[in-house]
Structure 1
Amino acid sequence: MRILFLSYWGLNDGLTTSTVFPHLQLLQDRPDVTAVRLVTIERGSDAQAALVFEPGFAAGKISFEPLRSRPSGNVILNKIEDFTRFPKELIRQIAEFKPDFMIARGAPAGALAYLVWQKIKLPFYVESFEPHADYMRESGVWRAYDPRYLFQRHWEKRQKQLALGLMPVAENYRQQLISEGVLADRIVTVPCSVDAMAFAYDATAGQRVRQRLGYTAPAPVVGIYVGKFGDIYYDEEAFELFQAAANHFGPEFRLIILTPNPEAEVRRKLEAVGLGPDRAFVTKAPHAEVPNYLSAADFAFSPIRPAPCRRFCSAIKIGEYWASGLPVLVTPGVGDDSAIVEAEAGGAVFDLTEPGSVPAALARLAALMRMPGHRARIHELAVRYRSLNRAREAYQALLPGAATAQ
């Protein structure tokens, strides 16, 4: 098989490193796969940069070619131009590479795969299939009359109808798709996969990070947040949550934030809630360094903004937190994860609409951290719920040539 794999994220995006590269390796390892072409969508500074494909494994069967977005001052016009030009460029690549089918990572990439299918009927699958249009509308990023929302919603409907296989990231969404009439044998749930061993707790690495940051004496309680602020995540509310944690754990509380948001802006917001540089460290870390920072922490924040469609998502950060053995402070209704957190003591759920919820959740976290062996037990949640084997099994069930690959 020859496969064109389309990522909606850029080559250097952390989501490409954490979610696309592992799946490329799975495909490359299949004996019935002869070649894979990775196509990413590059925006901003990377749109014109020279890009080097370095997946961290020997990519013998994998080639790479980006789609480069042209800069524009108008976001809507920029997206219109992308979705007009990119299908034509993909069709050119397809004529050259001659894939048997496409795998699109995410519903926006699936929209491009559908637009290609319209022209040349190349079969396609969609991984990480989520109701992206509703995510963006419920987060307040898109309005109901926004052309991006209207087009994306239509394209998602067509993906449900035409994709040979869909891989939603939450069982909640699989059940929803079945209720909408999508055939069950076309759907396999694949939560965002995590290399549980790569993210496993390393006490020595964690201690080195603490010493470098000056988080040593007296023994501090260290919280960590990995990710963005805004859009589907809390922004100002997240900093109030950090303040609540500082109040709960007292002067010994320390905070690590790994974020692509501008450092000066993040520091300004931290200062506003009483967390200066002596208590809060902020940086944009390469994905390979994230496990060491997680090993330096005692618990983790996942401040995802609640919305009805959040129950259909799978946050990669939660899987990585669990793999490091960290109890997670999470909002209700986040994919399958909030329920797992409550049922299996993988952290604590807080709801900003309920008075007293945050202090109660922090008290629950403190109790979990006092339990002997809690990091090893929480690590097993990542092994059970976020293993790459879920993706391997999905490919086995959905892709052609499964019998050959067994």
Structure 2
Amino acid sequence: MQKILFITWDGPQTSYMEGLFLPIFNAIKKTDAIDFHVIQFTWADQSKTDSIRKIADSFGIHYAAYKIQRKPIALLGSLFTLFQGKSFLQQYIDQHKIDVVMPRSTMPAVMVNRLRLKNTKIIFDADGLPLEERVDFSGLSKASKQYQWLKKEETRLLIKADGVLTRSQKAIAIHLKTIGNQFHDKFTVVFNGRNPEFFQPYASQKTAVRKMLGIPEDDFVFVYCGSLGPQYGWEEMLTIFKSYHTIKSTARFLIVSGNPEFVKDKIPEELQNSIIVKSVPFAEVPKFLSAADVAFAIRKPTFSMQGVAPIKLGEYLLMGLPTIASAGIGDTETLLENVPGTFLFEHNDAQAIEKAVTFVANLKYDPLLLREAGEKYFSLKKSAESYRKAFQKL
């Protein structure tokens, strides 16, 4: 049986481990002789890591959390964790006789670059374009020593790895410009799969959830589910909703997010009673999505966004929800090219807001066709197949 060690570095707000990676690995191991191990470097508290461990145990996946130090300052704590973490990883790999290490993104790459790996293969999950994302949204300068060092580490592992995972074809093209086309065959696009049995329309829940939220049965409801921040198109979503609200004053906007404080002071006074902000456990997300009529999957189409696969798009489609999605985000245009009930929001179009409102006002769709598109591109089965393809290249 092949032993694969997945290594990731996460903040406490993310739910990628329990909501994305563990279910994907579980789907793979149902048909393949693979023993998955996961080490998550995180500064989440123990209750969070205990809940993840419980899910991992239920899937038969080995899980360990390693504490990221945040003192005396975050940067120094991270450097200390990298130094200590490398030794921990080396010991774990040797002890468990790991066949393949799969570091996700930059910080795990730094540690893996320093491991002594004799007969162990490397699959580098390059994720999106994480360093460029920090340039676009976190103020990291390409001229800084931090960026140049991390970029060097990323490039080193892109070349060294036996396989590389990305979330879009565009990301592959960008990486090949850095390391050369001779490495093309080692790249594989993998899909962010969701469980169709978990994300499915709950017509019976719609009335109950709306009643709980104080939303009348006939009101039209927009929904956004996910992280909030500069890259997630808050201004665009708010403007679209506000414009539609002038046409239909009973419309509501439901925001489901793990960091609701972002919008605390950003909701206009006149919309205070029309916008509902909730933070709910991941297990309840489909129930709340069931209350909606149309969903937002908007992100600012910066350079780095070419590398991402918006996971929420898959959730919405599996729920049979019409969706307004940004163009220029990963391979979104290709995926939604022939999917009725979806609208590509062109950020550079001066009439984009007006067109989005018109799309909503004249909305006609078949939820079954939307769900079919979700299953085609975003199901666990599709995701497992894409990972399996990468493993077979080794």
Fold in common (TM above 0.5): yes
Corresponding position of 1:90: 89
CA change 1:116–1:23 in 2 (3 A) is farther
Match of 1:170, as an amino acid? S
Match of 1:370, as an amino acid? K
1:299 has 2:294 as partner: yes
Task: Please give the residue correspondences for 1:171-210 in structure 2 after superposition, counting only pairs within 5 Å.
Answer: 171-177=169-175, 180-210=180-210
Decide which of 263, 277, 283 is 1:266's aligned counterpart.
263
Distance 2:189 2:56 in 1: 26
Corresponding position of 1:21: 22
Corresponding position of 2:33: 32
Quote how far apart the aligned CAs of 1:274 are: 2.6
Task: List runs of 5+ in structure 1 lacking aligned partners.
Answer: none
- Is the Cα–Cα contact under 8 Å of residues 243 and 274 in structure 1 kept in the other structure? no
Secondary structure of 2:258's partner?
coil
CA change 1:387–1:51 in 2 (3 A) is closer
Quote how far apart the aligned CAs of 1:390 are: 3.4
Distance 2:286 2:48 in 1: 31
Task: Please give the residue correspondences for 1:4-403 in structure 2 after superposition, counting only pairs within 5 Å.
Answer: 4-9=5-10, 13-33=14-34, 35-46=35-46, 53-55=53-55, 58-60=58-60, 62-72=61-71, 74-116=73-115, 122-127=120-125, 129-177=127-175, 180-217=180-217, 219-248=218-247, 250-263=248-261, 265-270=262-267, 272=268, 274-276=270-272, 278-367=273-362, 369-371=363-365, 374-399=366-391
Quote how far apart the aligned CAs of 1:140 are: 4.3
Secondary structure of 1:126's partner?
strand
Distance 2:334 2:341 in 1: 9
Secondary structure of 1:220's partner?
coil
Secondary structure of 2:343's partner?
strand
- Is the Cα–Cα contact under 8 Å of residues 4 and 37 in structure 1 kept in the other structure? yes
CA change 1:162–1:354 in 2 (3 A) is same
User: Could you list the runs of 4 or more consecutive aligned residues of structure 1 that deviate by over 4 angstroms after TM superposition?
Assistant: 46-52, 175-179, 235-238
Distance 1:228 1:199 in 2: 18
Task: List runs of 5+ in structure 2 lacking aligned partners.
Answer: none
Higher deviation after alignment, 154-163 or 102-111: 102-111
Secondary structure of 1:53's partner?
helix
CA change 1:37–1:307 in 2 (3 A) is same
TM-score (norm 1): 0.86
- Residue-by-residue CA offset, 1:341-387 (whole Å, 9 max, x unaligned): 354335223344432211111212333x334xx21111111111113
TM-score (norm 2): 0.88
Match of 1:158, as an amino acid? R
Quote how far apart the aligned CAs of 1:22 are: 1.4
How many residues align structurally?
391
Quote how far apart the aligned CAs of 1:52 are: 5.5
Percent of aligned pairs with the same amino acid: 20
CA change 1:31–1:131 in 2 (3 A) is closer
- Residue-by-residue CA offset, 1:96-141 (whole Å, 9 max, x unaligned): 2221121223454344333335x76742112363221112212343
